[in-house]
Amino acid sequence: MKRFFITVLAAVLIASTLALPTFSQTDSLKTTRKKIARAEGITVTAMRQPEQAVEVPLAVTIIPKSLFENSRGFGLDEALSLVPGALVQSRTGNQDVRVMIRGFGARGAGERSNAGTSRGIRFYIDGIPETEPDGRTAFDLIDLSGATSIEVLRSNASALWGNAAGGVVSVSTIPDLNSPYIALQGQFGSFGFQKYSLRAGTTTDIGKIYVSVNNTSLDGYRAQSRSLLTQFSVGILSNLSAKTRLNTFITGASNNFQIPGPLTQAQFDANPQQAQNDPAIYSPTYVERNERRFNRLGRIGTTFEHEFDAQNSLSAMAFLQTKYLQRSERNTFRDFNRYHTGGSLIYRNSTRFGENVKARFLVGSDMQYQDGAILFYNQVGGQRGTRLQTSKREGAQNLGAFAQAEVVIDEKLSMTGALRYDNISYFNEDFLNPKINENRVFERLTPKFGITYRLTPLWTLYGNIGGGVEVPAGNELDPPTVFGEDTVRAINSLLKPIESTTFEVGMKHVLFTDESTFLTRLSYDVAIYQVDVVNDIVPYRGGRFYFTAGRSQRRGVEISLQAEFAEGLSLMASATYSSNRFLEYRIDSGFVNRSLEGRSVSYANNAMPGIPDFFSTVRLRYQPTFFLPVFAEVEWRSVGGYFANDANSLSAPAYNVFDGTIGIRQAFLDDRLHLKAFLRGNNLLNAKYMASIWINPDRAANGQSPFIEPGMPLNYVASVGVEWRW
């Protein structure tokens, strides 16, 4: 493993060294300037303002649509496979994924972890937050069919974004076409997969209007894993004047998916496609209670930008969202009615001090609030009964204020400092048991400092140090029931916010060579990080309740590489090697099992569960220059082994998965009609592997632990699409 990592790193450094003289000696000055301008045109919003990707003192990855359009477009695992530091694992083959960035988000799996959600990482669609005030994110509205690009901030982002110690994933749906179009796409594949998509857009006198609608169904490769997902989105982009832009986004979804439950090692070995249907492990079983989620939600959001002059600008965002969520979970039927609202306001200033020094400043604030009623009923055969068991409201509010200053000297050296204050509040009101009504407030001041130095216009070195904060999600505050604590409290008083400090250094480099050479373009980035964490939140009994570990540490190296060769050949690769350890961690065994009251155990120096030390992806694409419409891709994904519990007694072995795609894209009628088709095979070698796991799972009456969510066997998807442009 280490040898492979060292080999990849050496290859990157050698390639860049060999290519550099060619870039400077053989490329004409005019061509070089064009290429540099094109590369510098890649901007990101990681610093809450448009900025060149090579200039940002953080690890950032931009994923264009071309890298994920030839897939099912169902889960984020298909779109983020080439992002170093980010491991996305599909739990049942649909949109329900476990998202980790540098270990943050690893705990988001388990019976009480609310399937279909993630933690520790903030998600945005067109600048509107998908993440709730408590840090949880549901993926119902993320439509990869309508996405045009994805930006992944892989570093600690709390100093600007708040509850985002694990980074930020920002999805854009704004089309890059400036003429009217309509596109239809149909897909079908293994295990009853079907997807039908419609996209259309047109221009107006002041902007654009576009719409995306898709319907996806999957019978599931495991029993009790059927999915039905319908999504729509509408975007209205308005240039009210040369200096004022107003964008409105309307989105909605209906998402109904079953949950098959985790398997024990014996069940996985016997039949990985079964659901959890053993009454000795769960009674009633996942099948008997028809474990599922049915989410219906809609949102309207708007973003506003105004430039007062070349130095001063203002931006704002506001949204309102309604949610009706139903769950069959842990032998109760649950209804949630929630409304979610929020907004932000940011002022930016750019000032020049002399000829060689310029500065950029921004100050802003944002707010999110979510509240609503929750009703628990008894469950009868997987359906809602008539006996009301719980009636309560749960609310959360996230208030934040932040400021950032950046100084650039000679267009080479830039220094950035940021500071943010967060106030996150929880409200709990139980109408059947008012004595457990309780509120709680978390506060945190988070700094960050970064520095970037440009060796050339497209070769930068950077470093940063900063704090991170992640408060417990709402369900993680549920008190443990081992001693009946939930009868006297509504909130787990033992939990504290995760506080982290990230140290990071890195390098970003883009090189061009003469078009007559074999290697025509090479870009890579390398990031080395250390994250020191206090109060890491750890799930117990399959996510039924949570405690905190004293101190932990994550160290790692991330590499990303893209190379374009002559004759239509290209290579994309990413690799991550890390060490993730508990430094101080002692658990009171009585909270796990009442018979062990008074005892404790230390897991200091154990590996943190759920986080592999190594994972990588390599994708090779061939698009022959003698027949450009045709392409072929192969992809190899490798994930190292890791543990499923703090004691390091349960493990998920390493696995490798191979995928392949062939396709064609051809234009007709003077580039008006576009035909696109592809055939993709996933897991071509039919590997049997654990796609995801539950951390610190229950131990059943038979002594076995259900923790395994099997990966999809060999499967295929075929797609045909047409697009008409005026």
Phi (first) and psi of residue 20, to 5 degrees: -60, -45
d(CA 703, CA 392): 36
**pLDDT at residue number 591:** 65
| pLDDT-derived band at 594, boundaries 50, 70, 90 | low
d(CA 212, CA 173): 9
pLDDT in tens, 567-577: 899 999 999 99
Helical residues (DSSP H) of 455-565, grouped into ranges: none
Give the residues across from 255 on adjacent strands.
229, 295
The answer on pLDDT for 20 being more than 50 is no
**pLDDT at residue number 304:** 97
164 vs 450, higher pLDDT: 450
Mean pLDDT over 507-514 rounds to: 86
The answer on pLDDT for 295 being more than 80 is yes
The answer on pLDDT for 530 being more than 60 is yes
**pLDDT at residue number 487:** 47
Show the CA angle centred on residue 660, arms to residues 655 and 661, nearest 5°: 150
The answer on pLDDT for 438 being more than 90 is no
Residue 302 contacts residue 318 (beta carbons within 8 Å): yes
162 vs 340, higher pLDDT: 340
Beta pairing class for 122-125 and 168-172? parallel
Residue 324 contacts residue 297 (beta carbons within 8 Å): yes
The answer on pLDDT for 583 being more than 60 is yes
Residue 202 contacts residue 183 (beta carbons within 8 Å): no
Reference 107, options 606, 574, 548; nearest CA is 548
Lowest mean pLDDT across 66-75, 146-155, 485-494, 546-555: 485-494
Helical residues (DSSP H) of 63-174, grouped into ranges: 76-79, 158-161
**In this structure, which amino acid lies at residue 200?**
A
Mean pLDDT taken over the chain: 89
The answer on pLDDT for 31 being more than 80 is no
Q: What is the CA radius of gyration of the chain?
A: 25
d(CA 455, CA 465): 21
Reference 555, options 584, 575, 532; nearest CA is 532
Reference 573, options 2, 11, 49; nearest CA is 11
pLDDT in tens, 51-108: 888 889 999 999 999 999 999 989 999 999 999 999 999 988 898 999 999 999 888 7
pLDDT in tens, 468-501: 888 888 778 776 665 544 445 556 776 788 899 9
- Percentage of residues in the chain having pLDDT higher than 70: 90
Show the CA angle centred on residue 288, arms to residues 285 and 294, nearest 5°: 100
**pLDDT at residue number 482:** 56
DSSP state, 54?
Answer: G
429: which 2 tokens? 């009101």
Lowest mean pLDDT across 268-277, 324-333, 470-479, 601-610: 470-479
Residue 263 contacts residue 272 (beta carbons within 8 Å): yes
**In this structure, which amino acid lies at residue 187?**
Q
How many CB atoms lie under 10 A from the CB of residue 246? 17
46 vs 723, higher pLDDT: 723
The answer on pLDDT for 161 being more than 70 is yes
Residue that is written with structure tokens 């900063």 in the block: 466
Residue 315 contacts residue 303 (beta carbons within 8 Å): yes
Reference 653, options 580, 604, 710; nearest CA is 710
Residue that is written with structure tokens 């996806």 in the block: 216
Mean pLDDT over 147-172 rounds to: 92
Q: Quick check: helix, strand or coil at residue 21?
A: helix
Q: Could you list the beta-strand ranges (E) of 614-672.
A: 614-622, 630-639, 642-643, 651-652, 655-668
Residue that is written with structure tokens 């038979």 in the block: 702
56: which 2 tokens? 């940002």
Q: Quick check: helix, strand or coil at residue 6?
A: helix
**pLDDT at residue number 2:** 47
The answer on pLDDT for 253 being more than 80 is yes
**pLDDT at residue number 480:** 65
Instruction: Give the chain's largest Cα–Cα span.
Output: 79
Question: If DSSP states are collapsed to H, E and C, what string results for 219-283?
Answer: CCCCCCCCEEEEEEEEEEEEEEECCEEEEEEEEEEEEEEECCCCECHHHHHHCCCCCCCCCCCCC
CA atoms within 13 A on the CB side of 659: 22
**pLDDT at residue number 29:** 43
Give the residues across from 537 on adjacent strands.
548
Among left, alpha and beta (phi > 0; psi -120 to 50; other), residue 703 is left
The answer on pLDDT for 596 being more than 90 is no
Mean pLDDT over 672-701 rounds to: 93
Mean pLDDT over 217-241 rounds to: 96
**pLDDT at residue number 590:** 64
Residue 60 contacts residue 46 (beta carbons within 8 Å): yes
Give the residues across from 200 on adjacent strands.
182, 211
pLDDT in tens, 625-656: 889 899 999 999 999 999 999 999 999 999 99
| pLDDT-derived band at 14, boundaries 50, 70, 90 | very low
How many CB atoms lie under 10 A from the CB of residue 29? 7
The secondary element (H helix, E strand) that includes residue 44 is strand 43-44
pTM exceeding the 0.85 threshold for the entire prediction: yes
Cβ neighbours of residue 547 closer than 8 Å, sequence gap 6 or more: 494, 495, 537, 538, 540, 587, 591
Classified by CATH at the fold level, domain 2-725 comes out as: Maltoporin; Chain A (2.40.170)
**pLDDT at residue number 22:** 39
**Helices then strands (H, E): number in the chain?**
5, 39
Beta pairing class for 459-470 and 43-44? unpaired
Reference 347, options 322, 298, 313; nearest CA is 313
**pLDDT at residue number 489:** 57
Phi (first) and psi of residue 73, to 5 degrees: 65, 35
Reference 39, options 528, 564, 632, 671; nearest CA is 564
